[in-house]
Amino acid sequence: MEYRVLGTSEVKVSAITFGAWAIGGWMWGGADRKDALDAIRASWDNGVTSIDTAPAYGQGLSEEIIGEALQQIQRDKVQILTKYGLRWDLKKGEFFFNSTDNDGKPIDMYRYAGKESVIEECENCLRRLGTDYIDLFQIHWADNTTPIEETMEAIQLLQEQGKIKAGGVCNYTADQMKTAEKVVSLAANQVPYSMVLRDIEKELVPYCREHNKSIIAYSPLQRGLLSGKIKPGYSFNEGDTRSGNRFYTDENITRINAFLAKIRPLAETKGATLAQLVIAWTIQQPGITVALVGARNAEQAIQNARAAEVQLKPEEIMFINDQLAKLELVQP
């Protein structure tokens, strides 16, 4: 496993980091708690020392499961990345969307990052995680009802209090990062990035590389699509938001699988799965510091961790990129 520093902070994380959205169950069609605990432990045993979560993932459940897992792992040997700024327990800020919790009860999600709310959320995160500090505390989504400077004042205070080691953002534009930087030095920006979703290469990647900010890529497997295991007509569990997503139309699944068939021989020559090849490609892209990859059980976690062993030569990356250039997806 390779370990990389987030920006100019003192937080060093594993290049492959455990993404803990799915284990919270919310929007992923449920999850088994014991399997989730086994997955976290297996990840750590195989060099994945970092875990990314959020209060919204199961309305606290993901963080609680991680807190339970931390009881069996030496705290200073693991890095916890969590978030704030999505509230379901109060109607304040900017309405985001309607949803249901893991029990099927309706909830309203709001983007809210007022200073006092950020401080309150940090305390709630610490309690659920059973720890006294968070390695990276990230705003989940921008809140257009609160000045960015106000939000970042809370982050600065929490850093001074030792409750967080570094501050980060998620889903921010380069301009939003510039505004935040007037108050606090950001360590990272967590954004969607995959072989088939590379929008950030236009502006955000150059900005982050120039200013020494890390990019944490989420959904590098495009939520399972780039594993090659999803076929046209795939049936998603109830509550799984992948159903209806533009990437999951039968036509796009067919086209992506045709692309994967072209790079599969390269994976085979390295004794790797398609998913491992995709993860390896991701963490070897310019400007990408971390790839977040979820796992529902120990076997998936082990397979994800082993992607770090796959080394790609420049000409192999060029081959993959050439095949990607030929891939045309159907737009909605």
pTM, to two decimals: 0.94
- Chain mean pLDDT for the chain: 94
Q: What is the pLDDT of residue 81?
A: 98
- CA dist 168 and 186 (Å) reads 5
Look at residue 236 and tell me whether its pLDDT is greater than 80: no
Rg, Å, the chain Cα set: 19
Instruction: Output the pLDDT for position 181.
Output: 97
Distance, in Å, from the CA atom of 138 to the CA atom of 172, rounded to the nearest integer, reads: 11
**Is the pLDDT assigned to residue 241 strictly greater than 90?**
no
Mean pLDDT over 284-305 rounds to: 95
Helices (H), the chain: 33-45, 61-70, 115-129, 148-160, 174-180, 204-210, 250-269, 274-283, 298-305, 314-325
Mean pLDDT of 193-198: 96
How many whole angstroms separate alpha carbon 63 and alpha carbon 116?
Answer: 21
Instruction: Give the residue-averaged pLDDT of 187-207.
Output: 97
Give the residue numbers marked as catalytic: 57
The pLDDT score that the predictor gives to residue 27 is 72
The owner of tokens 């921010």 is: 172
Looking up tokens 């998913």 gives: 275
Domains annotated for the chain, with CATH where assigned, are 3-228+274-311 (3.20.20.100)
The DSSP call for residue 289 is E
